[in-house]
Chain A
Amino acid sequence: MTGTDVKTILHKDIVKFIRECLKKDHPDSYLIAVLHKVQGRYGWLSEPHMAEVAQLLQVPTATVSGVATFYHFFRLRPRGRFAISVCLGTACFVRGADEIVEAFRSELGIGMGETTQDGLFSLETSRCLGVCALAPVVMINEKVYSKVTAKQVPELIRQMQEG
């Protein structure tokens, strides 16, 4: 029984994707790809979603949990409407990314990996985004802001608040 007759909580596209994976060689090797899809749709990986992935893909739940927590790309908590990610690659570091981190922290009053009470902003750091030549960079949702300075931070936040 692989859940075919069970009502799923995951979106049907994801269920369909998993069923396609099951037809291929080494279906369990698609676990990371499936988790990418789940996060892509829901923004993060919740326990019920992961448990269902485990059942559908027939990968032990502990393995799913182990994989999801190993890779920093996967989020285990929902994040804010604006996910602010400060690049901490070398080039950004050399060009003052730590000051930007500090500026966001003090402006938003939250720490790394946290979300503001209103659910609007979450703050995280990322590994090198590969945009080193434009360092320092900040990614807010999918958009990359280049050559950011600490001084611009309050303005950036204001812009987002105003939508």
Chain B
Amino acid sequence: MGKPLAFYEALYRDMEAARDATGIQEKVLIQVGSATCEKAAGADAVMVEFTKLIQASGRQDILLKQTGCTGRCAREPVVGVFFPGKMPVKYEEVTVPKVQTIFQEHVQNGRVVTDLMLDKRTDTLYNHVVTLCSSRSCSPDSGRTLENRLKRRLDANGVDPDTIRIFQGGCMGLCSPGAKGNQRVMMVYPAKALYHFRTDQQLDEIIQSHFVRNEILSQYLTRTDFITENFFKLYGDVAFFNKQTRLTLRNSGLIDPESLGDYVVNKGYEALARILDGKDSRAVIDEITRSGLRGRGGGGFPTGAKWKNAITYTDDPVKYVVCNADEGDPGAFMDRSALEGDPFIVIEGMTLGAYAIGARKGFVYIRAEYPLAIERLERAIRKAEDHRLLGRNIMDSGFDFEIEIRLGAGAFVCGEETALMYSIEGKRGQPRIRPPYPTQSGLWGHPTVINNVETWANVPTIILFGAEWFGRLGTEKSKGTKVFALAGKVRNTGLVEVPMGTPLREIIYDIGGGIPDDKALKAVQTGGPSGGCIPARLIDTPADFESLAAIGSIMGSGGMIILDEDDCMVATAKFFLEFTQSESCGKCVPCREGTLRMLEILERITSGEGAMEDLDKLERLGQLIRKTSLCGLGQTAPNPVLSTLQNFREEYEAHILQKRCPTHKCSRLLKYEIDPEKCVGCTLCARRCPVLCIAGKPKEAHEIDQSRCIQCGECFNACKFGAVKKN
């Protein structure tokens, strides 16, 4: 064992001792989410209230901790209560009064407040909870088949299946190469036992021992690797997570993002220690290359190849690594949550990358709109420096590396790598032509590797568990997992991490809980303003780089907006084009001038002034902008328009030919009419109308003068009798 490993082990011992000294193993743990959205939802007040109550109670055996985002954004603030040896319980939408109830009932008296539980689940009331691994790559009879088989065997063994809750889990990443294809895995909670089995006979043995005699059957226990343990910790939230596989977010929502100790005892810095301990820098690049990791920022460029490219410029001793955290897609918040939940994993990833390419300096370029993520990152960097995990002679290895944070200032285009570099250099963030690529001539002309947050966050895990293990997740060409920010018309909006290739349907329905108010799904918008709108009929498409590209969209950085039957596709396309148009840097002609012309055409169409030839112009401009723009922003700007033109052409035609918006979203095309049958002549609408275009005597049916109506909708909102109709 060399110096870095010795350094690491000492660090680990210290951190473990510090953790144990808090008595966390024996104490009641209350965890409060503390990401930006949690704070927006009122998490700070919740934290303060718990602090007060704990002090007032005088109890020393309660530990109050903050944690990052668990991804359950729609239900925030989320509070977890963990009693040693008991099922974790999570509460949703916690307010100060609810804190009082939870503290009094649950913490003080041990009675779970089931009414306030996350997703109103009562899992704790079951004796056991079983999660079956339903990875398709693992067992041929996964999913329902396996669930039914388990239920049959429980029944046959005299165990009432209703006392056990069974879930279909996502890939647990447990399949060893030898067992691949014929092994089944199940997790049993609260015992935290992870069993593998093949035959019914083996299953019977497990059932007899675990469920009948309450004894863990060690011979079928799977090597419980670290990733799996996290599944147990997240268990209180199982309905949301059961289809997820959290690698980059493995600590998010579990650890205190401001605690280096939490990170270290969760296998943090082990990967770096192993590499710095005598491994050649090439070993890192080889491992990343073999893993098949591709850039998560949108481009999908193989990360290993990028790094390898940077080291070919051997004559330049100065190199840089950059973390692109300029998450600008409207509707995407993966990077913010990740940095707020676990900044250390990104720092460790960058350090590994820097070692690999020989960089001594790194930058994190992050949006100024993310103050909490910046603050957490700053603290994390300082703590890493204090513990010699950054700075000079890291872990006694002789390797020096420092990280500096640079703030963006509100320019979407700075997510483009050359623009980002100019912005780091303090200039206007306008892209330049590539080549030369940043790996050849990047910051101040030196070779520079730029990866996004999620890509860097994958690196320590790959080094830790190996390229082969990583490669088993995902698809042939898209390895590993992908984080998506699920938003729009979906029940469980939030952050999800799933293996690449997971069908959109599973993400939307099994994890997202489907469309609220029983509306019909219309489209899925992926890739933000650079992406396309995928029509509902294609939602069995696997979410991976190739499959999404094949249907005219892109993976992008992971924004996923769900649109339902009420959404107008022309208005949606216009929304995205408005965004890119206003974010165009203005450098190249097609993007600067062309996007405005497209937008003007869309404005004409949505206000009933479009002509059919406008559709040809949209196509022509769209192709021009796509093929001749300087950077990715411009090249992809027409995508939302082109993809909706392809998949929802009839909506465009309805706007043009019938002067009608099928979803009544485009206000200029709305026609408000008063149903004389329903109108009682209350005159309210006439009084509310700002342009006084409604006429009628009291107690008689009123009428709207269409020539003067400005479609403001005041009458529609005012009418108490449902007499005003929107057409």
Contact = CB atoms under 8 A, between A and B. Distances in A.
Direct contact of A and B (CB under 8 A): yes
Interface of A: 26, 28-33, 35-36, 59, 63, 66-67, 70-74, 88-95, 126-135, 137, 142, 144-146
Contact of B494 (A95, A133, A142): A133
Contact of B559 (A59, A90, A146): A90
B573 to A, nearest CB: 12
Contacts of A127: 328, 330, 369, 410, 412
Nearest to A67: B428
A130 B576 CA distance: 16
A71 B423 CA distance: 10
B535 interface: no
A40 B327 CA distance: 22
A97 to B, nearest CB: 10
Given A90-B561, A127-B410, A29 B425 contact: yes
Contacts of A91: 330-331, 487-488, 493, 561
25 contacts: A29-B406, A31-B426, A31-B427, A32-B409, A33-B406, A36-B409, A63-B427, A71-B408, A73-B369, A73-B410, A89-B331, A90-B559, A93-B575, A94-B572, A128-B328, A130-B369, A131-B333, A132-B332, A132-B493, A133-B74, A133-B76, A133-B493, A134-B74, A137-B40, A146-B37
A131 B40 contact: yes
A130 B336 contact: yes
Nearest to B407: A36
A74 B409 contact: yes
B488 A35 contact: no
Given A29-B426, A128-B331, A128-B333, A135 B411 contact: no
A163 to B, nearest CB: 20
B692 interface: no
Interface of B: 36-37, 39-41, 73-74, 76, 327-333, 336-337, 368-371, 406-412, 423-430, 444, 485, 487-489, 493-494, 525, 528, 559, 561, 563, 567, 572, 575-576, 579, 585
5 closest cross-chain pairs (CB), A and B = A133-B73, A90-B331, A73-B410, A71-B409, A130-B333
Nearest to B561: A90
A128 B388 CA distance: 36
A146 B40 CA distance: 7
Contacts of A129: 36, 369
A94 B332 contact: no
Contacts of B406: 29, 32-33
Contacts of B528: 90
B36 A94 contact: no
Which of A67, A92, A130 has the most B CB atoms < 10 Å from its CB?
A: A130
A67 B429 CA distance: 8
Contacts of B332: 128, 130, 132
Contacts, number: 144
Contacts of A95: 488
Contacts of B488: 90-91, 94-95
A74 B329 CA distance: 19
Given A36-B409, A134-B37, 5 more contacts: A29-B426, A67-B426, A71-B410, A72-B409, A91-B493
Contacts of B525: 90
Given A73-B368, A94-B488, A130 B37 contact: yes
B583 to A, nearest CB: 8
Contacts of B36: 129-131, 144
A33 B429 contact: no
Contacts of A93: 330, 575
A30 B426 contact: yes
A28 to B, nearest CB: 5
Contacts of A67: 426-428
Given A93-B575, A127-B330, A70 B485 contact: no
A148 B551 CA distance: 35
Nearest to A91: B487
Contacts of A29: 406, 424-426
Given A90-B561, A132-B485, A144-B40, A73 B336 contact: no
Contacts of A137: 40
Given A130-B369, A134-B73, A26 B425 contact: yes
B334 to A, nearest CB: 9
Contacts of A31: 426-427
Contacts of B407: 32-33, 36
A132 B331 contact: yes
A59 B428 CA distance: 13
Contacts of B429: 70-71
A93 B567 CA distance: 11
A146 B336 contact: no
B497 to A, nearest CB: 15
Contacts of A26: 425-426, 444
A132 B73 contact: yes
A90 B40 contact: no
B331 A59 contact: no
A94 B411 contact: no
A92 to B, nearest CB: 8
